């Protein structure tokens, strides 16, 4: 993939990508390189089937062992799916609105809702500002289900920054309407950051700080009711979600 531009335009593009937000940068990038090059770029970045050395990690494996019936993700890759397949766990996937409606009627034992689409179908990807705008209508039922779950279940946020615009609209609305009655949720973070701690506390989200992301598999095993070895561990798992956003 190649795109040539005048040096003056190059300087302007560089400034734009430094100064603007990720949705706007994605919007301009797609417009600049064209749809075909844009989709090829996405597949180069996220299609793990192109790279045999990219495999599900111990964190993915520990996540599968939790046997969560419902997982929401904004990731495009298929590592969650492949980790479940490797463990022999059947999982149904929804990457767009029509799939989601079909899966609901099936009532699968394990359901992965890919809010931003899946790299195996680049047309489902939500990344640009236009994509986000369209998703609020085109994925109305998916987002409504996310809202329903956030209002009624505890969530465990793993590898999720809580900065997604469409998610934040839903999450903020629930905090405003339910206040202290909203279910307790948790986010797993890396090295402790007191400023981020204050910010997350303001969102009514409890933070679990790890010494580093290499500790994530051990943490997921500790909160697993089937693997917890001590009563102290099992008592903590009562607050861990039946739904998660990774």
What span, in angstroms and rounded, lies between the C-alpha atoms of 80 and 71? 10
What span, in angstroms and rounded, lies between the C-alpha atoms of 107 and 100? 11
Interval 146-202: pLDDT, tens = 999 999 999 999 988 888 999 999 999 999 999 889 898 999 998 889 999 999 999
pLDDT at position 242 over 80: no
Interval 136-161: pLDDT, tens = 999 999 999 999 999 999 999 998 88
- The structure tokens listed for 92 are 């149904």
Instruction: Please identify which residue in the block is written with the tokens 């090829």.
Output: 40
Alpha helix locations (H) across 126-164? 129-138, 140-152
pLDDT at position 230 over 60: no
For 171, other C-beta atoms within 10 Å of its C-beta total 21
Q: Which has the closest alpha carbon to 167: 191, 145, 146?
A: 146
């Amino acid at each position: 993939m190649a795109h040539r531009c005048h040096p003056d335009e190059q300087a302007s593009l560089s400034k734009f990508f430094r100064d603007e937000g990720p949705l706007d940068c994605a919007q301009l990038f797609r417009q600049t390189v064209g749809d075909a090059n844009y989709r090829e770029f996405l597949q180069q970045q996220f299609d793990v089937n192109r790279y045999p050395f990219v495999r599900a990690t111990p964190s993915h494996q520990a996540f599968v062992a939790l046997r969560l019936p419902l997982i929401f993700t904004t990731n495009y890759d298929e590592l969650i799916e492949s980790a479940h397949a490797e463990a022999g766990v059947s999982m149904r996937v929804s990457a767009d609105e029509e799939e989601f409606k079909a899966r609901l009627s099936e009532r699968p034992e394990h359901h992965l809702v890919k809010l931003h689409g899946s790299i195996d179908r680049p047309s489902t990807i939500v990344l640009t500002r236009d994509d986000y705008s369209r998703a609020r209508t085109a994925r109305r039922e998916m987002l409504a289900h996310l809202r329903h779950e956030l209002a009624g279940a505890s969530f465990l946020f793993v590898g999720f920054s809580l900065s997604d615009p469409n998610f934040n609209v839903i999450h903020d609305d629930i905090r405003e309407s339910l206040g202290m009655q909203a279910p307790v949720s948790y986010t797993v973070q890396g090295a402790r950051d007191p400023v981020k701690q204050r910010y997350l506390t303001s969102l009514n989200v409890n933070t679990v700080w790890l010494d580093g992301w290499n500790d994530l598999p051990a943490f997921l095993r500790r909160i697993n009711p089937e693997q917890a070895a001590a009563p102290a561990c099992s008592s903590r798992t009562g607050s861990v979600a039946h739904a998660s956003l990774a």
